Each structure stands twice: as structure tokens, then as C-alpha cells.
Amino acid sequence: MTELPESIRERAKELRREINHHDYLYHVLDSPEIPDKKYDLMMNELIKLEKEYPGLFTPDSPTQRIGGKPGEGFGTINHRVPMLSLGNAFNEGELRDFDQRVKSKLDSKNVQYVVELKIDGLAVSLYYENGIFVKGATRGNGETGEDITTNLKTIPSIPLKLKDDLTIETRGEVYMTKTSFLELNNTREEAEITPFANPRNAAAGALRQLDPKITASRQLSVFMYSIGYYESNYFSNQEQLLNFLKTQGFRVNPHYYLCQNINEVIDYCKIWQDTRFDLNYTIDGLVVKVNSIDYQEILGNTLKNPRWAIAFKFPPEEAVTKIIDITLNVGRTGALTPTAILEPVSLAGTTVKKAALHNDDYIKEKDIRIGDTVLVHKAGDIIPEIVGVKKEKRSGEENKFKMPSVCPVCGADAVRQEGEAITRCTGAACPAQLQEGLIHFASRGAMDIEGLGPAVINHLVNKGLVKNVSDLYYLCKEDLVKLERMGNKSAKNLLEAIDKSRSNPLYRLIYGLGIFHVGERTARLLAQHFKCIDNLINAEENEITVIPEIGPTIAKSITTFMKQDQNLTLIEKLKSAGINMHAQNENTREKLQGLTFILTGTLENFTRTEAREKIESLGGKVSSSVSKNTDYLIAGDNPGTKINKAKQLGINILNEDGFQYLIADD
């Protein structure tokens, strides 16, 4: 092994010191000193050095925040000191009762309290040995939590190395800001994934991702507030403890306040009850703690709660208003989403005019009608939501909402498939779906038009050059060079890629049309069975369900799509543009026909998606669970428990070389 040059070692050490310093400034003190570009250059240099010289690696390197390989599941960690929950107080009287219990137990009239914001997130414990972060866990049942060490390392405000070489266990709350929460939910809604109800659920979901790269993308943060175990120093009070955490590099919420008596506690709680909505994170109350550590030890704990602390919980903020109308929004993937238009009402620091109604079932379940008087609140202090209807206020003039049978934008049939909660527009040329439809049509699994990405598509749509996918084949160079960042060479390359796609196999066109429930595998089966697009257009449901793997739900979706005039017009335009509509010239050799595969571990030369696509392109099927019907298990690096079951069942196990040999051309 080549000896590591001292100059390289020193450079890596300097980069780590600089990056950790700027992480602290940015994520803990909210006071950055350098632009993001300079930070990225330092991080990229360190990543390159650690990759080139593996001996440089250290467990506290800031490169470990990027996230490693996905795990198979979470282990458990036993807390050295139990993580207790807090008792609750819901009003001034219950806070005074708590104060009386404390004073009675201590036989003292003078008790100081520290009041801290109660962050609405997920409680975690962080373990450090000799100043290095070694493991972290959720609260769990208080005695044992889930080991989420790898995911916690992705959170920039958690120090990987402390200022001093301490062996210590600290506790805090991981949370998601309101800004990050709204961005995440917008992304999920665009992808037609159920949005999170509140930031706490989103943060908890992010920490329980098996893939730490997903956790890293969720922009989580943390506030630390206590110590579970510490081998040496003794703190005389809670205020000192919080200041100590700050000196070690932890992020501590700045809004804690030392109160001399319970009256000051109550006044401080009242202040935050009115101003909490100004924060960019949610709090659901405040935590009141006896300041003296000696007093805390005298007071002790019950089986579940400390006697020296209590949570003051804010009452839910609700308002009464009226539903003026219910409107429909057609999403980029055709989903029809109802929205309640409300009489403006002040709620949680803002004026609320709308509330999401999600789908038809939600409206029926709550019996929501146009004209109803309703009670609204903000889920997680962010998302307006209808809590319930005040039916006693009804006059009889309220109108029930009915989901339309046609799309309000394009007039195509609006269909709700069996087992689905969402009603969808079936129009492939629907303007509301245009941009997403074009992205799908040009994607690698569909028509595979290189250079036609989301940015270019956005420009084409905004300029009015493309109103449906067939318009792509009538573009000329003069059209393209008008687009931002589109030069002569780029325009020429894009036109060549579009022209090349005319001769694509039929299955790519079928998949590219965006028929609901029809994925790439199903598109291949349809092309092989019907041979040309006209046969598929004229097929009845029972003719489609004879194809193995295709059931009545998919068949109904296909026949519904093929009955829409705008879809038939689109296909005719594609025919006129010279798009291949036949399967007879395709290579139909299916060397993996009838074989079922399982993928586990990390492959070097394939992503999981690429391996699946290759297997399916050769007629094979990829399953998610091992059974006696499995023919092959493809095992990459760090395979999971599936390999053990495969061995027990005597299933053929191939490494990546064996897989490549199996799928290679003869």
C-alpha cells in the first residue's frame, strides 16, 4: 500500500476543520461567512481526497453526512437512562397546581423555573465517545429506541465531533421547518403521493427512511435540551446545562427563559401562545422545568414522568367560517382535487381563504356542502383543514358537491377506477397535464428523446410551441433557437433525437401515451399481443385480460383511454408524423420468458431500476419477496435477509458477473 503523504493528510485535516466550522456557523448560529459555492468546492475536494486515499477516512468526517447505502431495517439501542415523557398542563390553574406540588415536596417557597419551547418533532438521544458521535436512537418506549445513527449523521446541525473529548449522551428534538415541510408536501402532491399531515409526521418519516440519502434530502434540523448520561461534570442548574451544550457545538433553542416564580412562567406562556406562529417551526406548547439540579433529584420521577417538569400545551386554534364554493383543480397527472373556498377568516396568524378537501370520499365522510358553516384549524399550524360541519347552522339551502364525470379543463371523461380514491382526467391532450405528459413521453423508458428534459419542455410550453406530444414532431430549427440557452448545435441535436424516436418499438409509444396503470412491462405485453396500435384501440376488455399479468382494472383503464376522441385524434397525429405503430419489426426474442427474479444488495454496474428494466425487456419478471416460485436471486454487495431464505429454498443465486452472463447477447 502506498504511504499516505503527510501533505495530503494535513490538507484533509484542514478541510474537515474548515467545513465543520462553517457547518456550525450556518446550521447552529444561522450566521454563514462564505458563499455556498466556496463551501461546495471544499466539500468536493474532501470527498475526492477520501476516495483517492481510503486511509484518510475518519468516522467524524463531514462527508459522512451525505448518506451511505440503504439499510435493510433498524436495530435497537437501550437507553442508559430512561427517556421519560412529560405530564401535561392545559391551563393556568394546572400550572399553579404543579407549582404547589413542587413546593410541597421541597418544603420551599422560592423555586426558579426554566421555560423552554416545546418543539413539535421527534425525540432523539445522541451518544458520543471521546467527543465522537457513535450512535443515535429514537425515544421508542423510553427504555429502548430504534437505531437511526446513519440517518442522524445526515442532519447538519448535529455535530459529528464535540469541542471536548467527552463521553456523553444528549437529548433533543429533530424537526422540520415549515418552509421545508411545504416544499416536501408540494412535491408529494405533484407525484400524487399522500401529503404528510404535519411537520412532525414528516420529520418522523424522514428519520425512519432506510435510505439515508432520502433523509438527507428532507432538510431536518435539531434542538438539544438535556443530558441523559455524563461521566463527569455536575451542573448546578438547567440554565448552566443548556449553556454547556452550546459550548460543545450543539444547537440549543435560544428562546428559553429563567423565571423567578410561577407567575412569570404563566406570563411567558401567554406571550408564546400569541406569537408562536411567527416561528418557522411548530411548537405545541412550552416545557417548564425546575431550574435547580439538586431540586430535580429530590423531586425525582414517577414511572412515566419527571416530577420536576411539565408541558404546558397550547389549546388548538380554531375558527368558524362558511364555505362559499367548492372548486376543482386538475393536477399535472390528471387528478381532480376539490378545494373549499372559504369566507376569509383569521387563523394561526394568517388569513385563511381556502382548505384542501382531498377527494370525493373525504367530502362525503365529513358531509361537507357548499354553504355550510364549518370549523377550521391549521394542521401543524400550517395547513388549513376543515375539522367538522356545524350542521345545526344549516338553513336547507346548502348544496351537495358532486364530482363531475368530465374534466373541467378539456372535457374528456373523468374516471375513478375501482379501489382508487382519486378521480382522474383521461385526456392525453388535456392542457392541465401537458407539461408532465411531455416529460413522461420523452423519458428513457418511453420515447427516450435525449435532450428533451423538463427545462426545455417548460420553455416549449410557455412559448406555445407544443400543445400536445404530437407537436414535438413538427418542430423546426427556427422554433428551437428562440428558446433560452438553445444554440444551433443544441437545436440540431434535439431535432435528430426527436426524429430518431419515430422508429422506436411500439411498446415505447404505448407506455409514452401515459395510460393510467400501464407501466413499461404492461406496454411490452400489449405490443407483443396486439402487434399494432389499431388492434389495441379496438380491443374490448375481455380481449385484454386474456394477457397474463393484465387484470380487469388495467383493461378498463386502457379501453376508457381509447374511447376518448382527443386521445384518438392525438394517435392519428402521431401516425401522420411517421411514428412507428407496429410491432412486427421488433426483436421479440424473450430469453428470460417465464422466469422470476429477486434483486437484493447493491450492484456495481446497474441501479435497481436498470436491472429490473433489463430483466423485463427480456421477458422476465421481478418480484419483491422470495418464494418457491422464484427462479433466480441476484445478489449485489451487502445483500439483505432475502439471500438466506433463497438458500433455504434452494433457489439459484447469482452474483453480478453471473447476472451479466445470463443476460448477455449470444
Name the residues annotated as catalytic. 118
Contact call for residues 307 and 326 (beta carbons, < 8 A): no
Contact call for residues 250 and 77 (beta carbons, < 8 A): no
Q: 150 CB contacts (<8 Å, ≥6 apart)?
A: 67, 68, 71, 212
CA-wise closest residue to 549 among 571, 579, 519, 590: 519
Report the alpha-carbon angle 414-419-424, nearest 5. Answer: 20
CA-wise closest residue to 244 among 326, 354, 166: 166
Phi, psi dihedrals of residue 642, rounded to the nearest 5°: -60, -30
- Joined together, the cell numbers standing for residue 465 give 410551441
Strand (E) or helix (H) holding 283: strand 283-290
CA distances from 102 to 109, 159, 302, 600 (A): 9, 35, 13, 56
- DSSP-assigned letter for residue 146: E
Contact call for residues 144 and 77 (beta carbons, < 8 A): yes
Q: 588 CB contacts (<8 Å, ≥6 apart)?
A: 528
CA-wise closest residue to 228 among 301, 119, 310, 120: 301
CA distances from 147 to 127, 140, 150, 176, 571 (A): 11, 10, 8, 20, 53
User: 3-class SS at 265?
Assistant: helix
Where would I find the beta strands (DSSP E) of 75-189?
76-78, 88-89, 113-119, 122-129, 132-138, 144-146, 168-176
Residue type, 458: N
Phi, psi dihedrals of residue 369, rounded to the nearest 5°: -130, 155
CA dist 1 and 205 (Å) reads 43
DSSP string for 406-453: B-TTT--BEE--TT-S-EEE--TT-GGGHHHHHHHHHSTTTT--TT--
- Joined together, the cell numbers standing for residue 553 give 382494472
User: 3-class SS at 298?
Assistant: helix
- Joined together, the cell numbers standing for residue 269 give 406562556
